[in-house]
Structure 1
């Protein structure tokens, strides 16, 4: 890349960085969710957002708007040759859109791993041969001069030992981890960041020039269980999992890695939520997880058995390689030792699956939240008698929705790898969490929302929260105690930052328990849990307005199962 081209590349990425800050500040001041993709790619949406930002009468936002506009104008002025104003008569805005799209492409290609190369392992996986194969479509978005093709027999570039190796879940490792790694390396000042395809589709390496060296980070996504076997064998420095570590795995790793359930080791990096969809003419509005098991295993084959019309049930499922299928299998079928019916239509595309269900009056399928489209969204309950809840980013964030699950990084605390630790820390930042959201998962960045049903709560709480908004976090606790779990510890700092930005709003805390044991003891335990969060916030300079314990009322699930008890043991956070 020529010095001039490099300058433009840097300048474009700088504009995208401004747009990312615009998104973040607007979400804070305008109280609305803003998709980064729309800000980058849709000029009309971006222009409207800039106008709204100016109307907020916030000095920081106003300055950012003018910075963005000046950078847009400067890019147009610095890069057009004059030809674009001749016969075609492009407008200033269409030219600006082209260059912002190129800027977005420059950054998103880096962040998405679109620049693909091949690598082969040497020296037991510690040295990689990097083939200099460049896709000219990608090159043109960054530099109009195409890079030379790789010539067989030319010298290889040896990357040496990886900065760290992260192994485990395909749900986490297929898209999320590569994107996080690319953004992390960019934050460290790396250049020429590329995602290299490995020997299989589930093996990748992200390479970059960093401090004068070509470095790489290895990503193997062969399944959650491999996170713990590879940590035990010393073939990975960081594990990724779409489920919590099992007790047997924790015990096996104690001597080598320390207790991986402790706060320094167990890191929640995002949440995953599944939407169950049917045709809009289906009269049913809710289903329980036991009913889903019977439907998708083929035990129930007609909607009339569920109170619907006399219609055969047609099953639609994602293909075997899909992370969405992995989520459904893990959350619905495997806990009941059930298998997907052979009659299910397996579909590779999320969009095609959703549209197929929308056209089939007997259809039912599962999909990621962004792909509901024209289908009907079903409310889901943990059991037939539990509260049925519609899936939204908010109900997944609070983990009220029964088909929500946490996604994890596990970092050993013995012989810790400093680069892996820095990466995990970056993943938890607001910027790292925005990447979680941009690929379709649910981030931990705090948002406000309304409860799924106000009548769900007791009168005392409804009175206290009449003018309040609920925040998208629930504090949960270790089994049978008032000690916060690892997500709760991280969420304390997020909550403090949120309250500081939104001052003078005040926090309200409401504790709940499961229904096992004595009712009076459960009421006392729910109060202690609310007070634990209160004291942690006070220690950080935040003084809650209310901290109440409400006991076993307003259960989200049946307390007969461990999963249900865990859902019910919580402290909800409201803001007034």
Structure 2
């Protein structure tokens, strides 16, 4: 009887030792797997570097949302935006001082012949704006052209209160000006009271002058106080009317690169993101019309 008990104890002890040994092996395997997983995660490549963009002031809202999202997703990448105007941005892409030039007009045949490549990121309506207190609510493209060329000089001629019209426009190398003048057929013929070098300056000038009229990007006009965007030929400047083409005064937002010049990994990643369908909602939220 005593022998049987001693034998049972021995069997139980051996079983317990075997269980501990197996458990130890299991723990070793788990530790090895975890370590392997950790090594695998930390060895994953992380995008880093700097991306320099330069150009159109009208693209400020769009560039703001694209840059914010991209750098949130890629915290080791910095994206700079220098709002110098479309002409300067195109030149920066040509001479390599920017990774990506920004233009609020399509490239000319001469520019593409020189090796520059334009990629549309979005479409933008050029809103015609007047002071918020102006009674004028609608003008035709023809009337707008007549006003900016000096053929119509008083608001009473187009249904407003008597008063000399003050035309506010952009500087010579502005993509917004180029788009506006091309569409209204007023190139090199505008008579301006003020010629300003940014979208914000035009909006401020119109807001501070009861008799002013100007033009600015749809994406920059929305939510601004002191001004109102008039309808053109009865059509409001909205994302929908720009997309379907019923609003006549519109132009593209363009990324400009140089053919044969390879972008850095970070710059290429930003370019790919900005021109993809993933960026569409962001572009729309910034007041422009996505094309992807």
Q: What's the TM-score, normalizing by structure 2?
A: 0.62
Q: CA separation in 1, counterparts of 2:54 and 2:254?
A: 12
What is the aligned residue count?
235
Match of 1:295 among 142, 147, 159: 147
Calculate the aligned-residue CA RMSD, in Å: 3.9
Quick one: distance in 2 between partners of 1:230 and 1:279? 37
The match for 1:424 is 271
Residue among 330, 335, 338 paired with 2:178? 330
Describe the SS at the equivalent of 2:192.
coil
Does structure 1 residue 182 correspond to structure 2 residue 68? Answer: yes
Partners of 1:371 and 1:409 in 2: CA distance: 26
Tell me, in whole angstroms, the C-alpha distance in 2 between the residues paired with 1:420 and 1:170: 20
1:416 aligns to what SS in structure 2?
A: coil
Corresponding residue SS for 1:181: helix
Give, in whole Å, the separation in 1 of the partners of 2:111 and 2:195: 34
Distance 1:433 1:305, change over 3 A: same
- Please list, as runs of the form range in 1=range in 2, the aligned pairs for 1:481-492 lying within 5 A after superposition: 487=291, 490=292
- Structure 1 counterpart of 2:101: 239
Cα deviation, residue 252, structure 1: 1.1
The higher relative CO (CA closer than 8 Å, separation ≥ 6) is in 2
Residue 287 of structure 1: CA displacement? Answer: 2.0
Contact 1:271–1:442 (CA<8 Å) still a contact in 2?
yes
Partner secondary structure for residue 267 of structure 2:
helix
Written as runs of structure 1 = structure 2, the 5 A alignment for 1:12-51 is none
Query: Given that residues 351 and 371 in structure 1 are in contact (C-alpha distance below 8 angstroms), is that contact kept between their aligned partners in structure 2?
Result: no
Aligned partner of 2:127 in structure 1 is 274
Give the Cα–Cα distance (whole angstroms) in 1 for the partners of residues 54 and 195 of structure 2: 31
Give the alignment of 1:283-432 within 5 angstroms.
Answer: 286-306=138-158, 308=159, 311-315=162-166, 317=168, 326=174, 329-333=177-181, 335-342=186-193, 348=201, 350=203, 353-354=206-207, 360=210, 364-366=213-215, 368=218, 369-371=221-223, 377-381=229-233, 388-412=234-258, 414-417=260-263, 418-429=265-276, 432=279
Deviation of 1:331 (Å): 2.9
Post-superposition Cα deviations, 1:423-445, rounded to whole Å, max 9, x if no partner, equal 12212345533333444x3132x
Q: Deviations over 1:341-371 (max 9, x none)?
A: 32799984847844x57xx4x5544454414
Gaps of 5+ in 1: 1-160, 191-209, 382-387, 445-486, 491-576
Matched, 1:168 2:55: yes
Q: CA 1:309–1:175 in structure 2 vs 1: closer, same or farther (change >3 Å)?
A: closer
Q: Distance in 2 between matches of 1:250 and 1:310?
A: 46
Contact 1:313 1:364 in 2 (8 A): no
Call closer, same or farther: CA 1:233–1:332 in 2, change over 3 Å. closer
Q: 1:373 to 1:178 in 2, by over 3 A?
A: closer
Per-residue deviation, 1:246:
0.8
Residue 375 (structure 1) shift = 6.2
The structural deviation recorded for 1:243 is 0.8
Q: Compared with structure 1, are the counterparts of its residues 310 and 176 closer, same or farther at alpha carbon in structure 2 (3 Å cutoff)? A: closer
Conserved? CA contact 1:242–1:405, under 8 Å:
yes
Report if the CA contact (8 A) 2:203-2:214 is conserved. no
* Range with greater deviation from structure 2 (174-183 or 244-253): 174-183
**CA separation of 1:311 and 1:436: change in aligned 2, threshold 3 A:** same
* Superposition deviation, residue 249 in structure 1: 0.9
Q: Given that residues 126 and 180 in structure 2 are in contact (C-alpha distance below 8 angstroms), is that contact kept between their aligned partners in structure 1? A: no
The Cα shift of 1:162 comes to 5.2
Contact 1:168 1:223 in 2 (8 A): yes
| Rg (Cα) greater in structure | 2
1:147-180 per-residue CA deviation (whole Å, 9 max, x = no partner) reads xxxxxxxxxxxxxx953332332322x4532542
Residues 277, 365 of structure 1: 8 Å contact kept: yes
Contact 1:319-1:348 within 8 A present in 2 as well: no
Q: Within 5 A, what are the aligned runs for 1:122-271? A: 163-172=50-59, 174-188=60-74, 190=75, 210=76, 215-253=77-115, 260=117, 266-271=119-124
Distance 1:399 1:273, change over 3 A: farther
- Distance verdict in 2 for CA 1:350–1:272, change over 3 Å: same
Cα distance in 1 for residues equivalent to 2:99 and 2:190: 34
C-alpha contact 1:162 1:218 (8 A) present in aligned 2: no
Superposition pairs of residues 447-462 of structure 1, within 5 angstroms: none
Closer/same/farther in 2, CA of residues 353 and 434 from structure 1, 3 Å limit: farther
Match of 1:152 in 2: none
Deviations 1:395-445 (A, max 9, x none): 123232112211011344534223222212212345533333444x3132x
